[in-house]
Amino acid sequence: DNTANQIAAGEVVERPSSVVKELVENSLDAGATRIEVELFEGGKRKIVIRDNGMGMSRADAILALQRHATSKIRTADDLFSIHTLGFRGEALPSIASVSDFRILTKRPHDETGTEVIVRAGELAEVRDAATPDGTVITVENLFFSVPARLKFLKTTQTELNHATDFLHRLILAYHTIGFRLTHDGHELISYPGSADPRQALAAVYGRDVAREMVPLLYESPGLTVRGSVSKPSVSKATRSAQAFFVNGRHVRSRTVQHAFDAAFSRLMTTERHPVVALFVEISPELVDVNVHPAKTEVRFTRDGEVYAAISRAVESALLTGGL
């Protein structure tokens, strides 16, 4: 019921950028190749996510609002080999329980689309609607019904920064996908998508930094580390331009951060921090992403192997990459 959804919302949805994260991840899971995010007042007033993914049938769009009605895992075993970003079936019902919420969706082979409107957590309207293939989700007045949470929202600029940081990390991880971000009608990010990951580095860190980055690569059976690390000329005073990913998901991991820092400082004597986008690809069975609903913390079954692989990748980039 709606109370359970509102409680879950406390876990899943902390702020506008968590709504953006959940909805954009759904778009990626739906196979979208173009995703547009429109924010108003940092997302506090309105968030619109538009994708060209597979869309939903009318029945599925209604089902998606039920708790734990995920389409992404079917058996308990699936939990141990998750290949999608979502799997809990909590995001849509949670977000809908604390906002004015609307789904507009159409599958390519359907004649017409569907519009589903939720008000105060209750299904208010379901009707046919003309719309392009894909899905548009609109979230207005987030937390309007939960004053205790409304009070914790930060300034428009802070909320916008969180959303921008999130989208930048997605561009790095999904460089083939087109992303666009507008705020109060002004375009902030326009990334067309490219087969070349250096275009993503340029879009996120700027052309001058991207030009000073060298590839990272270490491959062993079942474990790959790749990405790009910058030369000292463009290193930063803080770690804010460092992004680490495991199986396409941005993570915070002491193992990964520490392995990177240690390898780097063994080879370079500098107080500054390189710009880095580092991707660990590992068999999903060896990762536990289930530590927290927000899913940024990870644990590895074989920590030592991951640590060693990152060390090797950094060492060979520094030795052969001309740093």
- State the binding partner of 30 from ligand ADP, Mg ion, none, CB within 5 to 8 A by kind: ligand ADP
What is the contact surface with ligand ADP in residues (CB under 6 A)?
A: 22, 26-27, 30, 51, 53-56, 64, 70-72, 86-92, 135
Backbone angles phi, psi at 83, to 5 degrees: -110, -5
User: Of 67 and 226, which has the nearer Cβ to ligand ADP?
Assistant: 67
Task: State in angstroms the smallest separation of the CB of 93 from ligand ADP.
Answer: 6
Structure tokens at 74: 């079917």
Sequence-distant (6+) residues with CB within 8 A of 305 are: 220, 223
The C-alpha atoms of residue 68 and residue 265 are separated, in whole angstroms, by 45
Q: What is the DSSP letter of 194?
A: -
The C-alpha atoms of residue 215 and residue 234 are separated, in whole angstroms, by 15
Binding region for Mg ion (CB under 5 A) out of 19-27, 53-61, 152-160, 166-174: 19-27
Write out the binding residues for Mg ion, residues 25-44 only, by CB under 5 A. 26
Write out the binding residues for Mg ion, residues 48-87 only, by CB under 5 A. 86
Q: Give me the residues paired with residue 186 across strands.
A: 183
Q: Quick check: 298 and 291 in contact, CB under 8 A?
A: yes
Number of residues interacting with Mg ion: please give it, by CB under 5 A.
3
Buried b (16+ CB within 10 A) or exposed e, 194-203: beebebbbbb
User: Of 22 and 212, which has the nearer Cβ to ligand ADP?
Assistant: 22
Among all residues, whose Cβ is closest to Mg ion? 86
Task: State in angstroms the smallest separation of the CB of 248 from Mg ion.
Answer: 14
Among all residues, whose Cβ is closest to ligand ADP? 86
- Tokens 């597979």: give the residue: 54
- State the binding partner of 72 from Mg ion, ligand ADP, none, CB within 5 to 8 A by kind: ligand ADP
Query: Which residues of the shown chain bind Mg ion in the complex (CB under 5 A)?
Result: 26, 86, 91
